[in-house]
Chain A
Amino acid sequence: MTKQEYALWAQQESPKSKGLGDILRAFLFGGLICVIGQLLIFFFENRGAGEMAPVFASACLVVLSAILTGINIYDNIAKYAGAGTLVPITGFANSMVSAAMEFKTEGFILGLGAKMFIIAGPVIVYGVSASVIYGIILFLLG
């Protein structure tokens, strides 16, 4: 049996992801988190935060996500929400908080401190690098 034939068999026998239901749940949960974010933006705008309101709102969502992760709830929601809890900033926070909680048994420095970024690290690395490239292009064009 060749690898190609076997790959086909493996694909035939593997159950498919739920598809539409999964996507709908991601939409609902993701949308809900954004609504909470928007409510927070309104709140901070009313307090006169002005342009900084979205930043404060995101920070609040990060804290909320950290709390839900800390009390062992976030992963249970994420099981249903999928990308709905992964893509918002709360997912980014969850990846750092969960790693910190998990790896603290390996010490506070090389465990918690270092491995906190095991999932979130690449997001920062490639996000920042992309922005630097943009900045250099902008400078050269400017």
Chain B
Amino acid sequence: MPKKIGSKTLLLTSSPSIIGYAAVGAKKEKQGPLADYFDYLSEDSSFGEKTWEKAETLMQKKAIELALQKCSVQKTDVDFLFAGDLLNQCIGSAYASRDMAMPFFGLYGACSTMSESLCLAAMFVDGQLANRCVAATSSHFCSAERQFRFPLEYGGQRTPTSQWTVTGSGACVVAPSKQAPYLRAVTVGTVADLGITDINNMGAAMAPAAAQTLCQFFSDTSTRPEDYDLILTGDLGFVGSRLLERMMQAEGYPMAKLHNDCGLMIYDRVKQDVHAGGSGCGCAASVLCSFILPQIACQRLKNVLFMATGALMSPTSNQQGESIPGIAHLLHISAFPNEKEAK
């Protein structure tokens, strides 16, 4: 059963495992440095579908099916599916789950959705409300672009702080088991907003939320950044990462050497011309499920703090002049179920 420590952190006392995971990407991800770790990469970003929305749906479905396949779990054995994406009314996930016949919770946490869904899946399993949960998210460059920015063929210039929405999806199957990676603790984030209004600078908008959640976790668990091998944020990109490191330094938790960001890992920032890095729910999800989880499973990484960050604005709120609220949920993912075994 989850046990609350400090004011906002839950220890998952049974340490549920991520028994299966899969990452799917497309063309640009295939050209990136993590290409070899993906389970499936499509040369065609439309995945053979007529609309970008359908492509995203198919991509998320594929990630979920691959994750289930890899741990030999049948769709009918899944108790709950927690899934979300960036599209209006979460249609990517809703349509993906239409054909899968799993009890479905649709989530919107913007780019934080991977940690949001994984938190919920872990809490449900640890609380014995479910035996097998799936957490999945996706984002698609083309569907996000037309919803949040401009038509694809529009000749606009991207600003240096802008980020590139990852066309990718990741899915995790969470269940009680004796295999790494284990989910040890979660800290559900609170919304933070330090007044950034520039939608081309999401990293800066989300960094305060990341710092807030991270500080909360350290103070709740009485640990320090050095106690972990990697502090992995979702898609702060170049600008947001620098800001997070600076804020953590100011809070007395220097962590620049331990920190990395999925948005900086998935693409070669210079060669692939993605400006400040990758973004989108699919960024954190696909990097976690392709590159990070296998390293935890083989104990190369022992303790990882995974924290996907989300910018909770909409084009409407932005046009109305509202600033961008950020959120970050944190998961402690470990190669060991508890401290005893770690020693």
- The answer to whether any beta carbons of A and B sit under 8 Å apart in the complex is yes
On A, residues with C-beta under 8 Å from B are 1, 3, 6-7, 9-10, 13-18, 22, 69, 72, 74-75, 77-79, 81-82, 85-86, 91, 94-95, 97-99, 101-103, 105, 118-119
Question: How far in angstroms is the closest Cβ of chain B from A129?
Answer: 20
Please state if A14 and B201 are interface contacts (CB–CB under 8 Å): yes
**In contact, A78 and B242 (Cβ under 8 angstroms):** no
Number of A-B residue pairs at CB separation under 8 A: 96
Q: Are A13 and B246 in contact (CB under 8 A)?
A: yes
Task: Tell me the minimal C-beta distance from A106 to chain B in angstroms.
Answer: 9
Main secondary structure of the interface of B (DSSP, over half): loop
Contacts of A15 in B (CB 8 A): 160-161, 238-239, 276
Question: B113: shortest Cβ distance to chain A, in Å?
Answer: 24
B51 and A105 contact, CB distance less than 8 A: yes
What are 9 A-B contacts defined by CB distance under 8 Å?
A6-B195, A6-B208, A10-B196, A10-B201, A13-B204, A17-B159, A98-B153, A102-B152, A119-B154
Least CB distance, A83 to chain B, in whole angstroms: 8
Q: Roughly how many angstroms separate A99 CA and B152 CA in the complex, as a whole number?
A: 8
Residues of A within 8 A of B50 (CB): 105
Residues of chain A lying within 8 A (CB to CB) of residue B239? 10, 13-15
Chain B residues positioned under 8 Å from A72 (CB to CB): 153
User: Which residues of chain B (119-155) have a CB below 8 Å from chain A?
Assistant: 146, 150-155
Given contacts A3-B195, A105-B50, 11 further A-B pairs with CB under 8 A are: A1-B247, A13-B246, A15-B160, A15-B239, A15-B276, A78-B156, A78-B157, A79-B158, A86-B155, A101-B151, A102-B151
Contact of B204 among A10, A75, A81 (CB under 8 A): A10
Q: Are B196 and A82 in contact (CB under 8 A)?
A: no
Does B243 contact A75, Cβ atoms closer than 8 Å? no
For B161, what are the chain A residues with a Cβ–Cβ distance below 8 Å? 14-15
B101 within 8 A of A: no
Please indicate the chain A residues that have their CB under 8 angstroms from the CB of B51 in the complex: 105
With a CB–CB cut-off of 8 A, which chain A residues contact B155?
A: 69, 74-75, 77-79, 81, 85-86, 91, 94-95, 98
- Cβ of B298 < 8 Å from any Cβ of A? no
Q: A1-B194, A3-B194, A105-B50 are in contact. Are A14 and B160 (CB under 8 A)?
A: yes
Complex Cα gap A75–B156 (Å): 7
Q: Tell me the smallest distance from the CB of B159 to a CB of chain A, in Å.
A: 7
Residues of A contacting B204 in the complex (Cβ-Cβ under 8 angstroms): 10, 13-14
A37 to B238, CA, bound (A): 41
B-side residues, CB < 8 A to A, are: 50-52, 146, 150-161, 194-196, 201, 204, 208, 238-239, 242-243, 246-247, 250, 276
Chain B residues whose CB sits within 8 angstroms of the CB of A18 once the complex forms:
160
Cross-chain contact of B153 among A13, A14, A16, A74 (Cβ < 8 A): A74
Most buried by A among B52, B154, B194: B154
Distance, CA A97 to CA B276, complexed state (A): 29
Quick one: closest A residue to B51, CB to CB? A105
Q: Are B238 and A99 touching (Cβ within 8 A)?
A: no
Most chain A CB neighbours (cut-off 10 Å) among B204, B250, B276:
B204
Inter-chain contacts of A95 with B (CB < 8 A): 154-155
- Shortest B155–chain A CB gap in Å is 3
CB neighbours (8 Å) of B250 from chain A are: 1
CB contacts (< 8 Å) of A119 on chain B: these are 150-151, 154
> B145's closest neighbor in chain A, by CB?
A102
Nearest residue (CB) in B for A101 is B153
Residue pair B195, A7 in contact (C-beta under 8 Å): yes
Chain A residues near B195 (CB-CB < 8 A): 3, 6-7
